[in-house]
Structure 1
Amino acid sequence: MNSSNLAVLEFNGEVASSSASPPLRQSVKKALENYLFHLEDQSPVNLYELVLEEIEAPLLEVVMKLTKNNQSKAAKLLGLSRGTLRKKLKQYNLDC
């Protein structure tokens, strides 16, 4: 998933409604189908972990940018505690 597939959002302190998820789900599904199709006969190892890392890191980057690196707002938007957010930022070496 890249940033050109994301709609521009204005953060107002409220978590986005679940009605926003079907287009995102479709985009992710298409990207996964495309990725797996192009693997041909190769079998990916740890696909679940790979997908989580490939989605989670850009998600954190986008949310931190959207919230102007405000960890409290970012944590609220993501539905995480600030401690968990900090741990994930460190995990992906994101300096925010």
Structure 2
Amino acid sequence: MTRTRQDQAADKPLSHHVRESLNDYFRSLNGCQPPCGLYRMVLEQVEKPLLERVLDYSEGNQSRAAELLGINRGTLRKKLKQYQLDF
């Protein structure tokens, strides 16, 4: 049975995909200097879709989403406001 590329990708940890995305990003710079504040930029690029997907998964239940994320509900609400997410 031949495994699809998607099946093979699912076997790899999230850190592998993050590493690959960063490799692609640095390659795309073509020798140009990356922006200052790369750490913050990466966190913002990851955190917003993480919050969106977890809230979708929890059907908008913020208490459940906070539990899944391992943060308290107040912190979740603060982050939702920070990213202008309305759930």
TM-score range, shorter chain: 0.7 to 0.9
Aligned length: 76
Deviation by residue 1:21-57 (Cα, 9 ceiling, x = unmatched) = x611101110011111111222221100100000000
C-alpha RMSD of the superposition: 1.4
Partner of residue 45 from structure 1, selected from 23, 32, 36: 36
> Partners in 1 of 2:26 and 2:38 — Cα distance?
10
> Partners in 1 of 2:29 and 2:75 — Cα distance?
33
Query: Which is higher, the Rg of structure 1 or of structure 2?
Result: 2
Alignment correspondent of 1:35: 25
Deviation by residue 1:45-80 (Cα, 9 ceiling, x = unmatched) = 110010000000000000000000100100000010
> Partners in 1 of 2:13 and 2:72 — Cα distance?
26
Unaligned runs of 5+ in 2: 1-11
Structure of higher RCO (CA pairs closer than 8 Å, 6+ residues apart): 1
* Structure 1 SS opposite 2:13: helix
Unaligned runs of 5+ in 1: 1-21
TM-score (norm 2): 0.82
Alignment correspondent of 2:53: 62
The runs of at least 4 consecutive aligned structure 1 residues that moved more than 3 Å come to none
Alignment correspondent of 1:71: 62
Deviation at 1:86, TM superposition (A): 0.2
* Structure 1 SS opposite 2:32: coil
**1:49 maps to amino acid:** R
